[in-house]
Amino acid sequence: MSNTNDTEAMLKNKQWAVVGATDNKEKFGYKIFKALKEAGYDVYPVNPGVDEILGDKCYPALKDLPCVPEVVNVVVPPKVGEQIVNNCCELGIKNVWLQPGANAASVVEQAKNLDLNVVDRCCVLVELRNHK
């Protein structure tokens, strides 16, 4: 489903949450959060096992965020991803970016069944570099 227009449309939104953000610098959850932050996005880390990332409070769940993000970037295993897209729907979040590895067919199908806008074939790190 995702094409250049989908990725560009999502990247125009400035308020993001990264589900699966981590303080482990080797992991994509850290690299994505850091890249979005450095690119000027208003980004919230979400991970129940982490208190803080790069000086920002990390929230245990999407429902705990101080605002409703425009886009949720999902960097978690597919088993967790299905619940995350359900949470997005419940909270009225329409835009979901499933990172490679989080984009199992079951998660993509679940998101589409919930009528969410889905990017599922590209990495936000790559697209941020191309986005000007």
Here the contacts of 43-48 (C-beta below 8 Å, separation 24 or greater) are 43/15, 43/16, 43/17, 43/18, 44/16, 44/17, 44/18, 44/69, 45/17, 45/18, 45/21, 46/17, 46/18, 46/19, 46/20, 46/21, 47/19, 47/20, 47/21, 47/22
Provide the whole-model pTM: 0.95
Report how far residue 126's alpha carbon sits from residue 130's, in angstroms, rounded to the nearest whole number.
7
CATH class of 4-130: alpha beta
Tens-digit pLDDT profile for the chain (132 aa)?
445 578 999 999 999 999 999 999 999 999 999 999 999 999 999 999 999 999 999 999 999 999 999 999 999 999 999 999 999 999 999 999 999 999 999 999 999 999 999 999 999 999 999 886
Domain borders along the chain are 4-130
